[in-house]
Chain A
Amino acid sequence: MSHFPIAPSGVKMKTKGKLGMAGFAVLIVAVVVITGCIGEGGDKPTMVQTGSSTVLPLAIAWAAEFDDADITVSGGGSSHGINALLNGEADLGDASRLMKGSDYEKVGGSPDLVKADGTATAASPTGVWPYKWVVAYDVLTVVVNNDNDWSARLNYSQLYQIFTDDSPAVYWDEVDGLTDAPHEKIEIYAPDAASGTYDYFFDEIIPRWGKDDQHADARLNSNDNVYNPSADDNVILNAIKSNKYAIGFFGFAYYNENQGSIRTVEIAEEDEYVTPSLATVADYPMARPLHIYTDGVPKSGDIRNTYLSYILSEEGQSIVPEVGYVKLGLVDQPLLNEQRTKLENA
Chain B
Amino acid sequence: MPERIVIAVLFMASSLAVLVSAAILYTLIEGTCSFFAHPDVDALDFFFGSQWLPTSHKDPRFGILPLLNGTLLIAGGTILLAGPIGIGAALYLSEFAGIKVRAIMKPVIELLAGIPSIVYGFFAIIVISPILQDHLDADYFNAASAIVVMTFMVLPIVVSISDDAMKAVPRHMREASLAMGATRWETSLKVVVPAASSGIAASLMLGLARAIGETMVVALAAGQKANVGLNPLQSVLTMTGLIASVATGDIPPGTAAVEGAFAVGLYLFVLTFIINRIARRIVLRIKNGGRARRSISKFNLIGRLLKERNRRKIARMIREKERRDKARKENRHSYFDEERQMRRLRWRHIIGKLGVGMTMSSLVLAVIFLMILLVRTFLQGYSGITWNFLTGVPGWRPEDASIYPALVGSVSLMVLTMIMAVPVGIGTAVYFNEIAPDTGYTRFLRNLIQNLAGVPSIVFGLVGLAIFVRMFEFGPSLLAGSLTLALMVLPIIVVSSEEALRSVPISFREAARGMGATRWQTVRHHVLPNAVPGIITGSILALSRAIGETAPILFIGGMFSKAVPNELSDSFVALPLLIFNWSTDANQDFVEVAASTILVLLGILLAMNAVAIFIRYRSQARRRW
Which residues from chain A sit less than 8 Å from chain B, CB to CB?
1, 3, 5-7, 9-14, 16-18, 20-21, 23-24, 27-28, 31-32, 35-36, 38-42, 44, 46, 48, 50, 52-53, 56-57, 59-61, 63-65, 70-80, 83-84, 87, 89-90, 95-97, 100-103, 105-106, 111, 187, 189, 192-196, 199, 209-211, 214, 216-218, 220-221, 223, 225, 227-235, 238-239, 242-243, 251, 253-254, 256-258, 324
Task: Check A6 against B558 for contact (C-beta < 8 Å).
Answer: no
Shortest C-beta distance, B612 to chain A (Å), equals 9
Task: Check A106 against B125 for contact (C-beta < 8 Å).
Answer: no
CB-CB contacts of B479-520 with A at 8 A, as 1s and 0s? Answer: 000000000000000000000000001011001100100000
Of B250, B258, B614, B622, which is within 8 A of A12 by CB? B622
Q: Is B224 in the interface zone, CB < 8 Å from A?
A: yes
Can you name 12 A-B pairs with beta carbons within 8 Å? Answer: A1-B507, A1-B625, A7-B511, A13-B529, A35-B407, A42-B564, A72-B561, A96-B250, A102-B252, A232-B220, A234-B586, A243-B140
Residues of B within 8 A of A18 (CB): 529
Task: Check B252 against A97 for contact (C-beta < 8 Å).
Answer: yes
Residues of B within 8 A of A235 (CB): 125, 220
Q: A1-B172, A242-B130 are in contact. Are A221 and B584 (CB under 8 A)?
A: no
Once bound together, how far apart are the Cα atoms of A27 and B611, in whole Å?
Answer: 9
Residues of B within 8 A of A77 (CB): 247-250
Q: Is B329 in the interface zone, CB < 8 Å from A?
A: no
Task: Check B561 against A73 for contact (C-beta < 8 Å).
Answer: yes
Residues of A within 8 A of B526 (CB): 10, 14
14 new A-B contacts, CB < 8 A, other than A46-B571, A102-B253, A229-B224, are A17-B532, A42-B563, A42-B566, A60-B559, A65-B396, A73-B561, A74-B558, A74-B577, A89-B470, A192-B245, A218-B56, A221-B58, A228-B225, A239-B140
Once bound together, how far apart are the Cα atoms of A149 and B130, in whole Å?
Answer: 24
Of B248, B258, B475, which is within 8 A of A76 by CB? B248
Q: A1-B170, A228-B141, A228-B235 are in contact. Are A35 and B411 (CB under 8 A)?
A: yes
Residues of A within 8 A of B511 (CB): 3, 6-7
Shortest C-beta distance, B376 to chain A (Å), equals 15
Q: Is B223 in the interface zone, CB < 8 Å from A?
A: yes
Which residues from chain B sit less than 8 Å from chain A, CB to CB?
51, 53-59, 125-126, 130, 139-141, 170, 172, 219-220, 223-225, 227, 234-235, 244-255, 257-258, 394-396, 400, 407-408, 411-412, 415, 418, 469-470, 475-476, 505, 507-508, 511-512, 515, 525-526, 529-530, 532, 554-555, 557-566, 570-573, 577, 581, 583-588, 611, 614-615, 618-619, 622, 624-625
Of B244, B255, B475, which is within 8 A of A231 by CB? B244
Residue of B at shortest CB range from A42? Answer: B563
Once bound together, how far apart are the Cα atoms of A226 and B182, in whole Å?
Answer: 59
Once bound together, how far apart are the Cα atoms of A239 and B244, in whole Å?
Answer: 21
Once bound together, how far apart are the Cα atoms of A38 and B404, in whole Å?
Answer: 10
Shortest C-beta distance, A230 to chain B (Å), equals 6
Task: Check A14 against B529 for contact (C-beta < 8 Å).
Answer: yes
Task: Check A57 against B586 for contact (C-beta < 8 Å).
Answer: yes
Of B251, B415, B565, B624, which is within 8 A of A5 by CB? B624
The total of interchain contacts (Cβ-Cβ below 8 angstroms) comes to: 283
Sorted nearest first, the 10 A-B pairs with minimum C-beta distance are A194-B249, A102-B254, A196-B250, A72-B558, A193-B55, A70-B563, A64-B396, A221-B56, A78-B250, A72-B571
Task: Check B584 against A35 for contact (C-beta < 8 Å).
Answer: no
Residues of A within 8 A of B564 (CB): 38-40, 42
Of A14, A79, A101, A257, which is within 8 A of B250 by CB? A79
Residues of B within 8 A of A192 (CB): 224, 245, 249
Residues of A within 8 A of B223 (CB): 228-230
Task: Check A214 against B57 for contact (C-beta < 8 Å).
Answer: yes
Residue of B at shortest CB range from A106? Answer: B253
Task: Check B505 against A1 for contact (C-beta < 8 Å).
Answer: yes
Of B219, B559, B625, which is within 8 A of A6 by CB? B625
Task: Check B615 against A11 for contact (C-beta < 8 Å).
Answer: no
Residues of A within 8 A of B615 (CB): 20-21, 23-24
Residues of A within 8 A of B258 (CB): 79
Once bound together, how far apart are the Cα atoms of A64 and B573, in whole Å?
Answer: 14
Kindly name the residue among B245, B508, B577 whose own CB sees the greatest number of chain A CB atoms within 10 A.
B245
Residue of A at shortest CB range from B571? Answer: A72
Task: Check B586 against A79 for contact (C-beta < 8 Å).
Answer: no
Once bound together, how far apart are the Cα atoms of A259 and B222, in whole Å?
Answer: 27
Shortest C-beta distance, B519 to chain A (Å), equals 16
Once bound together, how far apart are the Cα atoms of A189 and B125, in whole Å?
Answer: 14
Q: A1-B170, A60-B560, A73-B561 are in contact. Are A28 and B581 (CB under 8 A)?
A: no
Task: Check B57 against A231 for contact (C-beta < 8 Å).
Answer: no
Shortest C-beta distance, B27 to chain A (Å), equals 13
Shortest C-beta distance, B251 to chain A (Å), equals 5
Q: A3-B507, A20-B614, A89-B469 are in contact. Are A79 and B253 (CB under 8 A)?
A: yes
Shortest C-beta distance, B588 to chain A (Å), equals 6
Residue of B at shortest CB range from A49? Answer: B558
Task: Check A194 against B251 for contact (C-beta < 8 Å).
Answer: yes
Q: A42-B566, A80-B555, A89-B476 are in contact. Are A13 and B249 (CB under 8 A)?
A: no
Residue of A at shortest CB range from B474? Answer: A89
Residue of A at shortest CB range from B221? Answer: A235
Of B170, B249, B415, which is within 8 A of A79 by CB? B249
Q: A79-B251, A194-B251, A228-B223 are in contact. Are A70 and B476 (CB under 8 A)?
A: no
Once bound together, how far apart are the Cα atoms of A14 and B505, in whole Å?
Answer: 16
Kindly name the residue among B250, B396, B415, B611 whose own CB sees the greatest number of chain A CB atoms within 10 A.
B250
Shortest C-beta distance, B39 to chain A (Å), equals 12
Of A13, A56, A187, A253, which is within 8 A of B559 by CB? A56
Once bound together, how far apart are the Cα atoms of A295 and B365, in whole Å?
Answer: 55
Of A41, A52, A73, A230, which is within 8 A of B558 by CB? A73
Shortest C-beta distance, A34 to chain B (Å), equals 9
Kindly name the residue among A6, A65, A223 whose own CB sees the greatest number of chain B CB atoms within 10 A.
A6
Task: Check A11 against B525 for contact (C-beta < 8 Å).
Answer: yes
Task: Check A63 against B252 for contact (C-beta < 8 Å).
Answer: no
Task: Check A103 against B250 for contact (C-beta < 8 Å).
Answer: no
Residues of A within 8 A of B529 (CB): 10, 13-14, 17-18
Residues of A within 8 A of B126 (CB): 238
Residue of B at shortest CB range from A227? Answer: B225
Residues of A within 8 A of B570 (CB): 46
Kindly name the residue among B251, B585, B615, B619 whose own CB sees the greatest number of chain A CB atoms within 10 A.
B251
Q: A20-B614, A103-B253, A193-B257 are in contact. Are A257 and B586 (CB under 8 A)?
A: yes
Of B51, B59, B130, B396, which is within 8 A of A60 by CB? B396
Task: Check A230 against B253 for contact (C-beta < 8 Å).
Answer: no
Shortest C-beta distance, B55 to chain A (Å), equals 4
Task: Check B586 against A102 for contact (C-beta < 8 Å).
Answer: no
Residues of B within 8 A of A71 (CB): 560-562
Residue of B at shortest CB range from A211? Answer: B57
Task: Check B525 against A83 for contact (C-beta < 8 Å).
Answer: no
Task: Check A48 against B571 for contact (C-beta < 8 Å).
Answer: yes
Q: A6-B625, A7-B511, A235-B220 are in contact. Are A225 and B227 (CB under 8 A)?
A: yes
Once bound together, how far apart are the Cα atoms of A209 and B55, in whole Å?
Answer: 12
Task: Check A20 against B586 for contact (C-beta < 8 Å).
Answer: no
Of A14, A102, A254, which is within 8 A of B525 by CB? A14
Shortest C-beta distance, B345 to chain A (Å), equals 30
Task: Check B250 against A72 for contact (C-beta < 8 Å).
Answer: no
Task: Check B54 against A193 for contact (C-beta < 8 Å).
Answer: yes
Residues of A within 8 A of B53 (CB): 220-221
Shortest C-beta distance, A253 to chain B (Å), equals 4
Shortest C-beta distance, B248 to chain A (Å), equals 5
Task: Check B618 against A41 for contact (C-beta < 8 Å).
Answer: no
Once bound together, how far apart are the Cα atoms of A76 and B462, in whole Å?
Answer: 11
Once bound together, how far apart are the Cα atoms of A28 and B234, in whole Å?
Answer: 47
Q: A5-B624, A79-B249, A195-B250 are in contact. Are A10 and B508 (CB under 8 A)?
A: yes
Task: Check B587 against A234 for contact (C-beta < 8 Å).
Answer: no
